[in-house]
Amino acid sequence: MVNYKEKIGQILIEADVALSYEELLDTIEVPTDKSMGDYAFPCFKLAKAMRKAPPLIAKDIAEKISSNEIFDKVESVNAYVNIFISRQKFVESIITEVNEKEDAFGRSEKGKGKTVIVEFSSPNIAKPFHIGHIRSTVIGNAIYKLYDFLGYDTIRINHLGDYGTQFGKMICAYRRWGNKEDVQREPIKTLLSYYTKFHEEADKDATLEDEARSIFTALERGEPDEVELWKWFREESLKEFNRVYKMLGIEFDSYAGESFYSDKMQRVLDELSEKGLLQESQGAQIVDLSEHSLPVAMITKSDGSTLYITRDIAAGFYRKEHYDFYKNIYVVASQQNLHFQQWFKIVELLGYDWAKDCIHVPFGLVSLEDGTMSTRQGRVVFLEDVLNRAVEQTKNIILEKGVNTDNADETSKKVGIGAVIFQELSNNRIKDYTFSWDKVLNFEGETGPYVQYTHARACSVLRNAGNSVSGLGDISKLDMKYVVGDAAFELSKLIYEMPEVIEDAADRYEPSVLTRHVVDIAQAFNSFYHEEHILVDNEDEKLAKLALVAAARIAIKNGLDLLGIESPEKM
């Protein structure tokens, strides 16, 4: 695909403009006012070197380059050279490339030979997979897909919360009030009820906390009874988690959680001690980070037990040595900002330069309309319930409106679950938000269903024409003079920008950049659809317009796929 900014830079170099190629690229602008051209070149920087007033320089440059065939028009306005690129050549190059590449449109080999780890989702075993987990889950999956699409060898890790004192509490509660049949029937909800009851009873009887600590100590020592219960809780929890992941279409390459690193932490303690970073404080072991404007990091408690930070450092060592990562990305809530700052700094102080390749991608928190969620109090909204309700609501709409679909159940799943994911990825990830059933199930406006419907509309146009992408023949031979109107050109420009948007979304770890662009493409397609008569009698005109419809369909489908959303062909 032609990079028009680079091409204009080359043309300006040939016109003897007194700037380097790199300076030219930095100077070329895209005007916000479309009447001022597709690109603009301000000439203020040239005045000193060329000993001329900027408006005169702009006039000379415009005259020199106006005859180039890639431009429809070049004009000088005050100190600016305003450039209007050839719409026909532009649209022809975009439509041809997109239809030739299809699913590979926007893909690149930028990351070839480089490994990127994305850690995301990471729910706690024996606790509910609630609406708060959706953020890490779908943001992380989108980041994984973006990096994979850009050619990186991308590893998905679900760092399960399967270690810690909460398991002492869970085992204690199960032994006192639980039974096997209830856990097998509804693992997470039952275990949550035990966990909630433990805290209720512990408020009345403080000895329960001591009992739970004693049980966890036995688990750490590998006592058979405690280990057996822990493994059972883990297996039952994973069954429920995987049911939700299947609904979301998400898979992982590794489920190595906190417990996986329990035998790898001594190395961390040894290295910290050897390098003089470990200090004792009231029986605990710490690393003093005050010189680096960070608070003290506790490495072990006074009873010798380790903390999250110890396990995360151990995990970092393992991942670098096992995967030799180019980037090690953690999609974890902004509440943990300090935690990541501390352990990244500790790894750096240990002398490992790969600390700079560890990246925390924070996101805002989800709260309920009546306050914050609390696992201890049992105040949660289960993610599976949200997805099921979205699917059910979608099916009701499909049946009420008599939507044209081959399979109402399958379409309901794609659209309902897509609506939930799209809403999560629509806004900047760092923003906090309040969960609302009304918002999740609102399909009006700039939503996932709107974009999916636009994709289905494009598919319908192609079907009604009796064509498919492959049935359009040699697209490079089509006459693109029929798709140079404003609506067609605006749609083509947005499709053209998509590969750059994909890279930008990956570089910023911000899927919403792509989400917003896919909405823009859908809106531009609908404008084209309403302003242009596509299925006309003139065969050449019809085929050219169908080629643009096919390109828009591909761009929308590829964008939705990178967000983890399916694209129904009928809606």
Residue 560: both structure tokens together: 């939705």
Exposed e or buried b per residue across 311-335, where buried means at least 16 C-beta atoms within 10 angstroms of its C-beta: bbbbbbbebbeebebbbbbbbbbee
CA distance 260 to 257: 6
The answer to whether residues 53 and 131 belong to one domain is no
φ, ψ of residue 129 in degrees (nearest 5): -90, 90
Q: Choose, from 130, 327, 395, 517, the residue flagged as catalytic.
A: 130
Q: Choose, from 127, 145, 320, 545, the residue flagged as catalytic.
A: 127
Residue 16 lies in a domain: yes
Q: Note the pTM of the prediction, 2 decimals.
A: 0.92
Q: Establish whether 322 is a catalytic residue.
A: no
Residue 103 lies in a domain: no
- Mean pLDDT of all residues in 300-323: 92
CB contact set of 80 (below 8 Å; sequence gap of 6+) = 36, 40, 41, 42, 43, 58
What pLDDT shows up at residue 238?
Answer: 92
Assess whether pLDDT exceeds 70 at residue 372: no
- Mean pLDDT of all residues in 3-11: 95
3-state secondary structure of 376: coil
- Average pLDDT over the chain, rounded to whole? 92
- Mean pLDDT of all residues in 251-261: 95
Q: Choose, from 52, 114, 133, 264, the residue flagged as catalytic.
A: 133
Residue 178 lies in a domain: yes
Residue 258 lies in a domain: yes
Q: Establish whether 130 is a catalytic residue.
A: yes
Assess whether pLDDT exceeds 60 at residue 554: yes
User: Among 122-131, 241-250, 445-454, 480-489, whose mean pLDDT is lowest?
Assistant: 122-131
φ, ψ of residue 116 in degrees (nearest 5): -120, 125
- Mean pLDDT of all residues in 209-215: 93
Assess whether pLDDT exceeds 90 at residue 440: no
Residue 178: both structure tokens together: 């639980």
The answer to whether residues 299 and 439 belong to one domain is no
DSSP E strands, 440-490: none
Exposed e or buried b per residue across 464-490, where buried means at least 16 C-beta atoms within 10 angstroms of its C-beta: ebebebeebeebeebebebbbeebbbb
Residue 18 is classified by DSSP as: S
Residue 377 lies in a domain: no
Q: Residue 285's beta-bridge partner residues? A: 280, 300
Q: How many CA atoms lie within 13 A of 102 on its CB side?
A: 5
What is the dihedral angle through the alpha carbons of 434, 436, 441, 446, rounded to the nearest 10 degrees?
A: -30
3-state secondary structure of 120: coil
- Mean pLDDT of all residues in 76-105: 96
What pLDDT shows up at residue 517?
Answer: 98
Residue 187: both structure tokens together: 């693992």
The answer to whether residues 393 and 532 belong to one domain is yes
Assess whether pLDDT exceeds 90 at residue 144: yes
pLDDT category of residue 376 using cuts at 50, 70 and 90: low
297-300 and 284-287 strand pairing: antiparallel
Number of domains in the chain: 3
From residue 3, give the alpha-carbon distance in Å to each of 72, 93, 315, 494. Answer: 17, 11, 42, 14
The answer to whether residues 156 and 123 belong to one domain is yes
CA distance 189 to 127: 8
The answer to whether residues 424 and 295 belong to one domain is no
The CATH number for 507's domain is 1.10.730.10
User: Among 149-153, 187-191, 300-304, 435-439, whose mean pLDDT is lowest?
Assistant: 435-439
Assess whether pLDDT exceeds 90 at residue 369: no
What pLDDT shows up at residue 202?
Answer: 94
What pLDDT shows up at residue 436?
Answer: 76
Assess whether pLDDT exceeds 60 at residue 468: no
Residue 161: name the closest of 96, 233, 211 by CA. 233
More confident residue, 164 or 32: 32
Residue 99 lies in a domain: no
Kindly report the length of the chain: 571
3-state secondary structure of 448: helix
Residue 376 lies in a domain: no
CA distance 120 to 136: 5
Identity of residue 457: R
Of 368, 391, 416, the residue at which a domain comes to its end is 368
Residue 188: both structure tokens together: 């997470």
User: Among 104-113, 222-231, 301-310, 466-475, whose mean pLDDT is lowest?
Assistant: 466-475
The answer to whether residues 324 and 360 belong to one domain is yes
Task: Give the chain's radius of gyration (CA, Å).
Answer: 29
The domain containing residue 318 runs over which residues? 115-368
Assess whether pLDDT exceeds 90 at residue 368: no
The answer to whether residues 171 and 305 belong to one domain is yes
The answer to whether residues 169 and 76 belong to one domain is no
- Mean pLDDT of all residues in 214-239: 92
The CATH number for 177's domain is 3.40.50.620
Assess whether pLDDT exceeds 60 at residue 467: no
CB contact set of 424 (below 8 Å; sequence gap of 6+) = 134, 135, 138, 139
What pLDDT shows up at residue 374?
Answer: 59
Q: Establish whether 345 is a catalytic residue.
A: no
Instruction: Identify the residue whose tokens are 């032994």.
Output: 175
Residue 100 lies in a domain: no
Assess whether pLDDT exceeds 50 at residue 469: no
From residue 134, give the alpha-carbon distance in Å to each of 117, 167, 386, 417, 512. Answer: 19, 23, 10, 12, 15
Of 325, 345, 368, the residue at which a domain comes to its end is 368
The answer to whether residues 254 and 154 belong to one domain is yes
Q: Residue 358's beta-bridge partner residues? A: 328
CA distance between the termini of the chain: 32
3-state secondary structure of 388: helix
pLDDT category of residue 306 using cuts at 50, 70 and 90: confident
The CB density around residue 399, as the number of other CB atoms within 10 Å, is 11
The percentage of the chain sitting over the pLDDT mark of 70, rounded to a whole number, equals 97
- Mean pLDDT of all residues in 313-335: 97
What pLDDT shows up at residue 163?
Answer: 85
The CATH number for 40's domain is 3.30.1360.70
8 Å CB contact between 150 and 108:
yes
Residue 415: both structure tokens together: 């659209």
The answer to whether residues 214 and 345 belong to one domain is yes
- Mean pLDDT of all residues in 346-350: 98
- Mean pLDDT of all residues in 167-178: 94
- Mean pLDDT of all residues in 527-544: 94
- Mean pLDDT of all residues in 377-400: 86
pLDDT category of residue 371 using cuts at 50, 70 and 90: low
